[in-house]
Amino acid sequence: MSDAPDWFWKAVETPVTDGQVTVNDCDIHFQSWSDAGKPGLLFVHGHNAHAHWWDFVAPFFQSHFHTAALDLSGMGDSHHRDDYDSETYAEEIIAVLDALSMPEDTIVVAHSFGGAMALPAVAANSDRVGGLVLVDSGVRHPDDVKEREENQEPERLPRSKIYPEREVAIARFRLQPPQQCDNQYVVDHIARHSVEYEDGGWVWKFDEEQSLRMTYEGDLENSLSEINVPIALIYGEDSASYSRRSAEYMQSLKPTMNLFPISNAQHHVFLDQPLAFIQTLAVILKDWGRNIPSAELLNP
């Protein structure tokens, strides 16, 4: 990662404290960049991802927030389950807030799959969360849902992959859904935290059967309607996963929700345009009354 800019190195080298909390007999890992006592800011990753996806984002806010990120069960350094469901994922998000003694007005920032889990979590715990920032995630336009279903291939039981060397596994890492990312240093950092040594080789940390054993409960539109705290959407203008049509449709269902498109960004918005994402998030937090300086003054 020799081509990584100084701001990136400064962020990812920021000291972090690890912890865990047990939710329904499963240990959930989380990491925190700052001490309790400040306003809360919790980051939730996407599908088959992990807390380290936020290593180059969260430290920018540590001076003004108690910042943290979790590994959802079956992903990252959290344990795996026999079965997964959206209600349990919602419980994991709230459990991490409680384990870290984060304040009742904590803001949750959630990407992709994490956003779909955070919506019902926030809807059911408005007394525990002060706002929700969705990242390329949320309720989709009915036409987008139809197209997605028509083009979606049936789930297949994946073959477990064991790589002989860590670097071989890292080299095989790919973003899902597939996309190019000009910031390879970001992708490399994420990849290095995506593998672990097991059974004589290197394997992906995520549960490869999670999708097959996942049950979605409730309805995202209902959750959206029940949310009574500030909500915003950051999305990539070039995203193949979440369209402008879906963004505007969700806003029609929740007129108080503001939209923040980021140009030259695809589904993995904060990988494509990390500084623009950080600046946009800072604007949202400031608009919601959080004590934070202008985005240009933020430093990890």
Lookup: tokens for 58 = 């969260």
The string of pLDDT tens digits covering residues 123-145 is: 999 999 999 999 999 999 999 99
- Are 231 and 121 in contact, with CB atoms under 8 Å apart? no
The string of pLDDT tens digits covering residues 175-210 is: 999 999 999 999 999 999 999 998 889 999 999 999
- Are 73 and 91 in contact, with CB atoms under 8 Å apart? no
- Torsion angles phi and psi, residue 153, rounded to 5: -80, 150
Q: Which domains does the chain have, with CATH numbers?
A: 6-155+213-297 (3.40.50.1820)
Q: What is the mean pLDDT of the chain?
A: 94
In 3D space, the residue among 17, 102, 12 whose CA is nearest the CA of residue 57 turns out to be 12
Q: At what angle do helices 142-151 and 244-253 cross, to 10 degrees?
A: 140
275 pLDDT higher than 80: yes
Q: pTM for this one?
A: 0.95
The string of pLDDT tens digits covering residues 281-298 is: 999 999 999 988 655 556
- Are 80 and 74 in contact, with CB atoms under 8 Å apart? yes
